[in-house]
Amino acid sequence: MSDKNDSDVKNDSDVKNDSDVKNDSDIDDKNDNDQRDDGKALEIYNGENEYLMTSSLFFLIPGMHALYKKQYLLSSTLLIGPIISYKFWSNPRNNIWRTSDMIAANMGMGLFIGNWAWNVKPSIYRLMIPSFYITGTSSYILGNIEHKKKNKNWYMYHGAMHLFMWLGHSLSVYVS
């Protein structure tokens, strides 16, 4: 007889099954922040993310103009933000790229509102720039509402937001 009691004896159910065993690809996926999304992909209907990738890159134009005018704070926002946004829209998921996109967009918006307040002198531009921003914000909100309703054309509102923000940012760089 053995000194071990029945509880010390391991049976087949105690052995880890294949799903419990981690392999190299699991470890690689876990360390790759670009792939980790906890299963929360954004719902895309007809490849509309490709349109948003393209419209994001248009912000590079006022970014280059701001760099030329030595407006380094505005130019850095307009040169880094679109690249982050492009990366996010290339594979839209709730991961670090979405968070980075939201942070870059909101910080950039704050900088441009500050630029408008301090550097845009009283003129017609003091009215035009915020009207673009308000219209862009309204388009963003409508896009979110339509996406939640599963409207396949939600991205047109988001694209309109890109357009109005682009107009506001371009005008802001031009007049300051």
Mean pLDDT, rounded, of the chain: 83
pLDDT value, residue 159: 96
In a domain, 156, yes or no: yes
pLDDT value, residue 76: 96
Q: Give the three-state DSSP class for 20.
A: helix
What is the count of structural domains for the chain?
A: 1
Position with higher pLDDT, 3 vs 169: 169
pLDDT value, residue 42: 81
21-39 confidence digits (pLDDT tens): 343 333 334 434 444 445 5
Is residue 117 scored above 70 in pLDDT? Answer: yes
Residue 44: pLDDT band (50, 70, 90) is: confident
In a domain, 160, yes or no: yes
pLDDT value, residue 172: 96
Pick from 53, 54, 35, 59: which is nearest to 89 by CA? Answer: 53
In a domain, 29, yes or no: no
pLDDT value, residue 4: 46
Share of the chain above pLDDT 90, in %: 72
Pick from 43, 46, 56, 47: which is nearest to 159 by CA? Answer: 56
* H or E element that contains 105: helix 96-119
Domain extent, residue 148, equals 44-175
In a domain, 2, yes or no: no
